[in-house]
Amino acid sequence: AQSVAQPEDQVNVAEGNPLTVKCTYSVSGNPYLFWYVQYPNRGLQFLLKYITGDNLVKGSYGFEAEFNKSQTSFHLKKPSALVSDSALYFCAVRPSSGGYQKVTFGTGTKLQVIP
């Protein structure tokens, strides 16, 4: 069975500092990996995905993520955090093969950017 772990319930970072939100996964075969952000009382917004190719993926709002197959990780990063980045972040994974495959979401990490 596939799984996603987001080991930190909350990450605090000062505005202007780099941020990292951690994600590790377990899946049979090669993964498709996704990051979503959710603001209060809103739906999830797609940030970026890893399908194949370059291990460094760039997404919306200046976010990027690095796929590391040996460490089965897909950490979300941003060079300089903004207060407006404060939100709930979800990592998600699905297998890349085998017809329909359910997307599994992590438990979420609350990012708090401190002015």
Residues that bind another protein (CB under 8 A): 32, 34, 36, 41-46, 49, 51, 88, 90, 96, 99-100, 102-103, 105-108, 110
Burial of 76 by CB count in 10 Å (0-12 exposed, 13-18 middle, 19+ buried)?
buried
Distance of alpha carbon 98 from alpha carbon 91, whole angstroms: 21
Nearer to another protein, 41 or 70 (CB): 41
Closest alpha carbon to 22 in 38, 12, 11: 11
Q: Which two tokens stand for residue 101?
A: 């495959």
Nearer to another protein, 49 or 75 (CB): 49
Closest CB 51 distance from another protein, rounded Å: 5
Closest CB 78 distance from another protein, rounded Å: 18
